[in-house]
Chain A
Amino acid sequence: MGPGYFPFVLGGLLAVLGLVVAALALRRTREAIRPWALRPLVLVLGAVVGFAILLQPVGLVLSTLILIVISRLAGWEFRIREVLFLCLLLTAMTVGLFVYGLGLPLNLWFRGSVP
């Protein structure tokens, strides 16, 4: 039994199931799939991807702020004061908890600078 055996069997089963689901969907009365909500999808995942890319080059503090602001745009009622409060609170919590509390080796500011 080689390394391809189990994946091959599973893949075959999955393909058959996919065909059955597709065939049933064609025969039955149309059931609408849920509508896409692009705004939260793009902003939330965008904020995460941005954080992943920025964390090493610009440090924890700035990438945290960017994550909060972008992701907060995905919600409703963007109030400046509320967002500022969130930024302050969460950044302080993150730095306090993860860097000083748990001692994770994350650079706070730009790469190379002293934390």
Chain B
Amino acid sequence: MMDILNNLTLGFGVALTPMNLLYCLFGVTLGTLIGVLPGIGPIATIAMLLPVTFGLPAVGALIMLAGIYYGAQYGGSTTAILINIPGEASAAVTCLDGYAMARQGRAGPALAIAAMGSFFAGCVATIIVALFAPPLAEVALKFWAAEYFSLMLLGLVSATVLARGSLLKAIAMVILGLLLGLVGTDVTSGTLRFTFGIAEFSDGIGFVAVAMGLFGFAEVIVNLTQGGKREVLTSKISGLMPTRADLKTSWKAVLRGTGLGSLLGILPGGGALLSSFASYTLEKRLAAVPSRFGKGAIEGVAGPEAANNAGAQTSFIPMLTLGIPSNAVMALMLGAMMIQGIAPGPQVIDKLPQLFWGMIASMWMGNIMLLVINLPLIGIWVRMLTMPYQMLYPAILLFCCIGAYSINYSSVDVLSTAGFGLLGYIFYILDCEPAPLLLGFILGPMMEESLRRAMLISQGDPTVFFTRPISLAMLIGAALLLLLVIVPAARKKREEVFRE
């Protein structure tokens, strides 16, 4: 206990320096902004800002990027409630009851309960990260190459099982990502792989190019094909405060959402999106009168909004302690760490305590900032909603282009980003989720290295993965997860959860 207090003091010392407060404020404000603006999400934004983080100190860069992710969870609910379009994918379920409340003239209480629920969940999740990450890292420090390989396999399998859409396609996307991650010079032998004679690829495909192309450019193209106008319910915000009855019906939903979100955030493949969907389903199940849902039930806003914020923050646990990304945003955070020259893994907490504890303290500061940014200043964000997408997307494209160029001052990077934009659009046409590909891309080189090391230590004996108990347990876990999805009953359940 004393340890944690000491560590948190260290963390607040880092987070409260003026520069880091500024990075945090910038991150959460930008997060709220892109959360509010439909058509641009945290993945594209973080990808866009990656080149900028080259010049920042590591702690500041990560504080800012983290702020964007959980800030977007706050902002996303505003759009969902006011215009029935999720500003951020995880706010999709908030549309159902939040928009219904807005149509009844109760947009104010819906916005307030979303922000307060998110704040409560954010505070709890921060404590959970502080409590559980260090012991988990300690366990992980004892892992050998074999355990690491099996852990990554388990992580990728559960990420595909929990992803939306076809399981087969998700696995194929992971494998494609792993392969793309292997492009470039092989570290062990120095052989060039899959470079097709292009000199720029000998260092591997740029992480920024993949992320910006798949999530930035492809998203812009998809949004432009859908087009459309939006109707904003701004005139109907009168009085933010929820009534006593609202609070009474929603506090339990907030508690349940926080618990569920914190748990699902830690699982690989989890995070904000899954948490909010699961919480909505749970609230509907538990409700005395389930038919109220979809017609303005406040629990249907409170639960998922708390859950997505909790999930967004606890998904940092596997990323920081194991170096395993649980979703696409965490893959980007890992990318940002590698850009800064930090090798991800369980040693990060011990070796860079100011980074780890500084980030945790900044999350708590960020949640306070977000409460202020989102409640009293809600009027400003509502005005942002009227900003037409056609004014926005040329700016997105421009910043992506300059960002991609500035990595190596090379046009080839911009061209390969455009290539991944095309690929991303093809994936959209074929209904393939690009997120698993990004996870594979990050893990590809690490997985190959631990596979090789494990085989080297065992002198070429592949049974090493089955004779070491922790490794075996993780492989069995991965196999069970796959079986679970293939069994028809469970598959039906999975589809049901994602449809709602």
Contact = CB atoms under 8 A, between A and B. Distances in A.
Interface of A: 1-4, 6-7, 10-11, 13-14, 17-18, 20-21, 24, 33-34, 36-37, 40-41, 44-45, 47-49, 51-53, 55-56, 64, 67-68, 71-72, 74-77, 82, 86, 90, 93-94, 98, 102, 104-106
Contacts of A98: 402, 406
Contacts, number: 137
Contacts of A2: 189
B456 to A, nearest CB: 8
A41 B397 contact: no
B52 A48 contact: no
B164 interface: no
A7 B431 contact: no
A44 B217 contact: yes
Contact of A55 (B171, B400, B405, B456): B405
A73 to B, nearest CB: 10
Contact of A17 (B172, B409, B417): B172
A45 to B, nearest CB: 5
Interface SS of B by simple majority:
helix
B445 to A, nearest CB: 10
14 contacts: A1-B451, A1-B452, A1-B455, A1-B456, A7-B182, A21-B168, A37-B225, A40-B225, A45-B421, A52-B405, A67-B398, A71-B394, A71-B397, A82-B391
Given A52-B405, A72-B390, 12 more contacts: A7-B179, A11-B179, A14-B172, A34-B428, A34-B429, A37-B225, A44-B224, A48-B418, A90-B394, A102-B52, A104-B402, A106-B405
Contacts of B52: 102
B429 A33 contact: yes
Contacts of A75: 224, 389-390, 393
Contacts of A14: 172, 175-176, 179
Given A10-B179, A41-B221, A98-B406, A48 B428 contact: no
Given A3-B188, A6-B451, A48 B390 contact: no
Contacts of A68: 394, 398
Interface residues of B, number: 57
B172 A90 contact: no
A3 B460 CA distance: 15
Interface string B375-401: 000000000000001110111011011
Sorted from nearest, which 8 A-B pairs have the closest CB atoms?
A52-B414, A37-B225, A40-B224, A3-B186, A75-B390, A3-B191, A52-B411, A6-B448
Nearest to B389: A75
A90 B428 CA distance: 29
B181 to A, nearest CB: 10
Interface string B167-204: 01101100110110010001011010110000000000
A48 B193 CA distance: 27
Contacts of A11: 179
Contact of A3 (B193, B401, B455): B193
B168 A40 contact: no
In this complex, which of B193, B220, B401, B414 has the most chain A Cβ atoms within 10 angstroms of its Cβ? B401
A25 to B, nearest CB: 10
A3 B452 CA distance: 10
B454 to A, nearest CB: 10
Interface string B14-42: 00000000000000000000000000000
A10 B171 CA distance: 11
Nearest to A2: B189
Given A7-B193, A34-B429, A76-B390, A90 B398 contact: yes
A90 B179 contact: no
A45 B218 CA distance: 9
Given A3-B186, A6-B448, A41 B398 contact: no
B341 interface: no
A21 B172 contact: yes
Interface in B447-495: 447-448, 451-452, 455-456, 460
Nearest to B416: A52
B47 to A, nearest CB: 14
A52 B401 contact: yes
B220 A3 contact: no
B136 interface: no
B418 A49 contact: yes
Given A72-B394, A74-B224, A44 B193 contact: no
B224 A48 contact: no
A99 to B, nearest CB: 10
Interface in B209-225: 217, 220-221, 224-225
